[in-house]
A and B are shown apart, each in its own frame.
Chain A
Amino acid sequence: MKRTVPLVITFLTGFFLIVAFFIPHEPFGELEQRLLVWFAIVSGFTMLLGVDNLIRSHAKRIARTDTGWGHSIALLVGLVVTVVVGAIGFARFGSPFHMQSPFMFVYTYVIVPLQGTMFALLAFFIASASYRAFRARNTIATLLLVSAIIVMLGRVPIGAAISDFFPAAQEWIMDVPQLAAKRGIQIGAALGAVSMSLRIILGIERSYLS
């Protein structure tokens, strides 16, 4: 019951999706769409588990007055306020995503600047990490360094001002060698995912049950 039923469920859902792919007619084609909707619904409930986990761990931190417990209060206040303004937006405007909704105020003036600045901050860390890591120690490392410099210069006006070579070379690198390696990696990763999926459907891979 505890292990067999989940294995059967996994096998049947995976199997039906594969059958629906090869037989996109009634009833299988319709079944695929239905299963995908069900998947979205069930996944939606997992969000509750995640949020609950976040609340519990930070509530514990506050209760024990661990280091940084004040920041946990900020986290919980942010979470609660966002959910409440979302509910208010839904009640007043029919959608939290209505432009007049207070939820969109939180999105525009809190989430967007925080997210944008957090990612912008990474520019400094990537640059400083690369300064330490990018050494032209051998031919291969030099290739990495040179292609990075050409792409960076080729994508900004100063590159074109120095020479027309940089924008053209940047475009060629992105369209040919970069694409080739990326394509090779993607094909390999996709084939790996296919074999892993097959192992899961056949019940060989069961780590998700632990």
Chain B
Amino acid sequence: MGSMGTIIGTWLAGFLTLAILSFLYKDNPFYKLAEHLYVGVSAGYWLIYVVFFDVKPMLIDTFMNETGFEKWIILIPGALGLIMLSRWFPKIAWLSRWPIAFTVGIGAGLGITANLQGYVLPQVTATLLPVTGFTVTDLSNIVLVIGVVTTLMYFYFSKPHKGVLGAGARIGIVFIMISFGASFGYTLMARISLLIGRLHFLFHDLLHILD
């Protein structure tokens, strides 16, 4: 895009930024317009993204470029994808359960293997920390282990929270509240950082007030 494109784009972006920020005053037609435009443009973006990065290279290009078994086997997911579209026709809409079942099966299979390999085992491994003395690191390691165990105790609802479990759960809620507070602060700062970015765009790129 040339410089005229950049100028038009910057004004468009400025208008849309102000339209969204206008919601801080109250709900208004400019905000509604920008909100709806956001949904429409995002849907279009993701449609193009999925077609270009998933369907085209994996299905169309494979079918066009491969030979023999690889060329024909790729028609199975293509057929499943088309069967998914049977939801458009009420009489045969039940057929869409097949590709749905396929995706659910993959999700469930990955739900077991990926969760165990990607979350449970690495997180447990990372929690088995050494305590070799009385340094700050050692103390932090002890706190970390206690935090993980007591948080798990808090979320264990198969038994009433009494006795050891109750005591552990009460310690666990302390860690959970600190974590929620920290996550809140972290998220808020990230959002404020985005706001600063948008204000910088308005005052620097659009209005040229800031250097």
**A residues at B contact (CB < 8 Å):** 2-3, 5-7, 9-18, 21, 34-52, 54, 68, 71-72, 74-83, 86-87, 90, 95-97, 100, 102-103, 105-124, 126-127, 130, 140-141, 143-152, 155-156, 172-191, 193-194, 196-198, 200-201, 208-209
Contact = CB atoms under 8 A, between A and B. Distances in A.
Given A37-B77, A47-B50, 10 more contacts: A5-B98, A21-B112, A45-B55, A109-B8, A123-B194, A143-B174, A151-B185, A180-B175, A184-B147, A190-B116
Given A45-B84, A130-B184, A188-B155, A123 B144 contact: no
Contacts of A182: 179, 183
Main secondary structure of the interface of A (DSSP, over half): helix
Interface string B24-45: 1000000011111111111111
A116 B191 CA distance: 9
B51 to A, nearest CB: 7
B100 A208 contact: yes
B77 A119 contact: no
Query: In the complex, which range does the number of interface residues on chain B fall in?
Result: 35 or more
B98 A121 contact: no
Contacts of B124: 187
Contacts of A126: 184, 187-188, 191
B185 A181 contact: no
Interface string B118-161: 01100110110000000000001001111111111011000000
Given A43-B54, A109-B13, A200-B108, A74 B189 contact: no
A176 to B, nearest CB: 5
Q: Which of A39, A51, A105 has the most CB of B within 10 A?
A: A39
B198 A146 contact: no
A82 B147 contact: no
A186 B102 CA distance: 26
